Amino acid sequence: MSEANRTFSLCCLPAPTRCVLAVFLIVISCGYFSGLVQLHFQHASPGNLLPDSADVVRVYHGEPKSEPKSKLQQLLEADESLPFNGTGTMRPAFTTKSERRWKENLAKLSPEEQKKLLAEREGERQALLDWLRQGAPKEAYDKDELKLSKPLVITEDYIVGDKDAEGRATQVRITSIITDRCVRCHQESGADKDAEKYPLDEWQHLEKYLKVEEGPGPMELAKLAQTTHVHLIGFTMMYGLTGLIFSLTQWPTWIRVVLAPWPMFWQAVDIALWWLARLDPLAAQAILVTGALVAGGFGLQVLGSLLDLSGLSFPRR
């Protein structure tokens, strides 16, 4: 009696069962792939297919060595090319995200007009930053009037009082800027469904983003605990099943012993690193390595199992 007959193996399963397993493996690979797509949109800097080491450090550890800033200041200073969300940047709110047809409308202007518009929008951003650096005084917000610490070229609508000799504003309507550029999306039934959840239309809503903190902190504990729970259970189910299927193939025992539990093991290490990354940016960078180990193992498992199920790798008895 050969070894394959003594031990239970995929090849002894009836054809319909092998079909179910093959389809399962294909569908779960699609699920894995869509997870990567989500990762791309949520955390990768534009130009990167997947988050790079700077991205993971930013998300899991927080920005290294930066002066204490409020969340709002961070989001307005952050590079424009970062993802447009609460861990990336809100800077495009003054430009590309300021209206639905920004590109089309901009293209209609002459080069000089474009330059002027961009300069004025940059002035709005600088005015908001000026307010934040002054400690975000509530009085200026209530009165919709801020005395700038240095004059700015800015959109006409937001200028209060007279301009200086060079046509720059010295006082601006700070609350109006926030309303036009931010509240547009950040309010109930606003222009963006995701931003609706974080209203910025009143002082009490705005206030929590004005607190000055030591550098952008790491991912919030509540959020981290939630993704841990979801991923740990989800991934264990998924890699548990793919591992079990692979373990029943006819590949040499040593390969199966190593590869069958591989993705599940490295996924657990990966998740542990999400927590360690709060303390050490090096752990954040190691997330990329464990992520790659999981992906590689998972890919080989699926491929190896499909080959086995199809009867291509080993002759069917």
Return d(Cα 126, Cα 130) in angstroms, integer.
Answer: 6
Q: Using CB under 6 A, which of the segments 19-27, 113-121, 188-196, 224-232 binds ligand HEC?
A: 188-196
Select 173 or 184, whichever has its Cβ closest to ligand HEC.
184
By CB under 6 A, tell whether 140 contacts ligand HEC. Answer: no
CB 111, min distance to ligand HEC, A: 26
Minimal distance in Å, beta carbon 134 to ligand HEC? Answer: 16
Q: How far apart are CA 175 and CA 39, in angstroms?
A: 35
238 binds ligand HEC (CB under 6 A): no
- Tell which one of 56, 72, 259, 277 touches ligand HEC (CB under 6 A): 72
**Judged by CB under 6 A, which of 44, 93, 136, 259 binds ligand HEC?**
93
Q: Please identify, among the stretches 164-172, 189-197, 229-237, 251-259, the one whose residues bind ligand HEC according to the rule CB under 6 A.
A: 189-197
Single residue of 10, 185, 277, 302 touching ligand HEC by CB under 6 A: 185
Helix 281-310 / helix 221-247 crossing angle, nearest 10 deg? 30
CA distance 130 to 170: 12
Binding residues for ligand HEC, per CB under 6 A? 71-72, 75, 85-86, 90, 93, 97, 181-182, 184-186, 191-192, 194-195, 198, 209
